[in-house]
Structure 1
């Protein structure tokens, strides 16, 4: 082995140009916490950590613009897919804090509850006490309602959840669609359960009622018109603020859940109640989003004007659907509430929603 002597070895010395990672000094540069957004509270929640900015935005990070686009259209999540405007779409936070874990946990709890109730009802022969009038009401009208839930879930919210300008908004709408589809499936499975347990129960009657019964045609028209709305925010307002408040709550809460027990049915309210709970959660995020837009310092006044126009377009349609449902209030044998009382309670609830948002009542509501 030859040993080299008499030579001094030299090595390249690093030269720092302040362009390397970690060179920049800023307020949180010494922090060990990875904060790339401003949390709503003192510390970021798990919901914010796993949801906020999952989809990067050129307004925040992508200096080169969207990294993907459509064949003959804009890239990413265009803000002009709605007539509403915001100074900062990223300011929205879902008050329900929905993310992947909550979707599975909440829905699995609901499904488990429904299955247990149906098993208990089957074991106790709970359906034997139903009158023929109530059985007919459930097979026709509760069965028909599953089509409204499925139509909104599949053709309104599934489409809208891709169109919002941020991942936070789209996640909330996606959960909304999951709620609707799950509830529609719950009603379908309940229909099958009753067809097997109740002699003479026609499990297919709901199709003819939804397609042909004059009582349900305005409801069907209302749902189908919402499915044709291109503006994702208008679809959200037409479905969650107007249709659900004036028609959904009227049927589910102020009819079915009010009179079922008086007709010997203690099973149906537990099922329909899960749909009402879903709607309350979905209304909560919708109100939070609209409040953000209505109070926007730059665009708030214009947003109120746009929303007022949407209300004038959709309130008459939903009020007509609500009024045309009146005949089904007289079908159950035992009635504890009149249609007039149910409608008044529903309209007052709708007014409360508008008041909370700071939106003026459309003149069509008092005509």
Structure 2
């Protein structure tokens, strides 16, 4: 008896879920859309927070920044769990290969003394800055409204753990496999005068009640710090015989470029909102006017310490980056003043 194998195509009755059809029309939806859009809990909450009885567990009023439709913002990277984990696994695998190369060639041991001191006194303590940023991102993921925003905030929080691990692994390698540099970095974060303005800045963000204000404040400091440590000092390291530092910096610089994509998209969504755009723009300008001077002060102290060690024009970088931040946010539509008080 012979059997004939035939392929039978079964057409699905519908291309996606009804709520996505209602929003986007009858078309196939991406996995990102199916796992993200309209999944924010909106009703049937059992209780209000005892410490905030005027609000629901998930409530738009946790922030002054609002969107008429929370899903008018989508992550330009289209990250849901699987692609996010894949992307970050690739990033950390690449760093592991870099670290292996550095150790095999003793490139960290061969760093000029001033660059070793720079890493130990300026860069490694920022693993605690990253830890603070992780807490800011976690709070934002809890209190924001709309799953597209919550996903980005949660992934950003996880990223900060990874960034702290990158710095920690570099510090252990610098110490020849010991945790000595990390212990010194922790003490420097607590006591070193050049780090105290930044530590204060982070701690103020941790007690900020508005999750969006805290995230914006974090982003302002990030833009200054990442431009300083992982772009300006990266270039100075290449010219100053400290290629080992440059190899580490490239990974953090690449991460920040990815981080900025979703935050810039969120700013655009806030400012372009048909109902709340004007209020969001005024609120964003107010946050920048309040937080940017403090961020500049904190990072300038860090830059001064770097200049004392390697003389890379770091303080000028902070001023230039601050001006670029104002220009960037103004171009997005926020009424940012050219110079902050």
CA radius of gyration, larger in: 1
Q: What do residues 259-284 of structure 1 show as CA deviations (whole Å, max 9, x unaligned)?
A: 22234332332333222222222222
> How far apart, CA to CA, are the structure 2 residues paired with 1:40 and 1:177?
34
**Distance in 1 separating the partners of 2:186 and 2:308:** 19
2:156 corresponds to 1:183: no
Please name the residue that 2:38 is paired with. 53
Q: Equivalents in 2 of 1:349, 1:294: separation in Å?
A: 19
How has the CA–CA distance of structure 1 residues 352 and 71 changed in structure 2, closer, same or farther, with 3 Å as cutoff? Answer: closer
Counterpart in 1 of 2:211?
232
How has the CA–CA distance of structure 1 residues 248 and 220 changed in structure 2, closer, same or farther, with 3 Å as cutoff?
A: farther
User: What does residue 223 of structure 1 align with?
Assistant: 202
Match of 2:10 in 1: none
Cα distance in 2, alignment partners of residues 310 and 266 from structure 1: 38
Against the structure 1 CA distance between its residues 248 and 78, is the aligned structure 2 distance closer, same or farther, given a 3 Å change threshold? same
Partner of 2:100: 119
Which of residues 128, 141, 158 is equivalent to 2:138?
A: 158
> Which residue in the other structure is 1:5 paired with?
none
Q: Deviations over 1:167-208 (max 9, x none)?
A: 11100100111111110111112111211169x974422122
Structure 1 match to 2:331: 356
> Please, which of 147, 165, 171 is the counterpart of residue 167 of structure 1?
147
| Greater per-residue helix proportion | 2
| Cα deviation, residue 364, structure 1 | 4.7
Closer/same/farther in 2, CA of residues 46 and 31 from structure 1, 3 Å limit:
closer
Determine if the alignment matches structure 1 residue 89 to structure 2 residue 66: no
CA deviations 1:18-52 (Å, max 9, x no partner) are: xxxxxxxxxxxx74543422349965222111222
Once the 2 structures are TM-superposed, how far is the Cα of residue 55 of structure 1 from its aligned partner? 3.2
Q: Which residue of 2 aligns with 1:279?
A: 256
Residues 16 and 28 in structure 2, CA contact (< 8 A), matched pair in contact too: no
Partner of 1:80: 61
1:343 counterpart = 2:301: no
Could you list the runs of 5+ residues in structure 1 that have no partner in the other structure?
1-29, 58-64
Q: How does 1:1-367 map to 2 (within 5 A)?
A: 31-37=14-20, 38-39=23-24, 43-57=28-42, 65-72=43-50, 73=53, 74-153=55-134, 155-196=135-176, 202-240=181-219, 242-255=220-233, 257-333=234-310, 335=311, 337-362=312-337, 364-365=339-340
Distance 1:351 1:313, change over 3 A: closer
| Ranges in structure 2 where 5+ consecutive residues have no aligned partner | 1-12
The CA RMSD measured in Å over matched residues stands at: 2.5
SS in 1 for 2:68: coil
Change in Cα spacing, 1:276 to 1:43, as seen in structure 2 (3 Å) is: farther
1:156 and 1:33, CA in 2 relative to 1: closer, same or farther beyond 3 A?
closer
CA-CA distance at 1:105 after TM superposition? 0.6
Q: CA deviation at 1:91?
A: 1.7
Q: Deviations over 1:278-303 (max 9, x none)?
A: 22222221221221121122221111
Q: CA offset at residue 339 of structure 1?
A: 2.8
Task: Give 1:78 deviation, angstroms.
Answer: 0.4
The number of residue pairs the alignment matches comes to 324
> TM-score, with normalisation over the residues of structure 2?
0.86
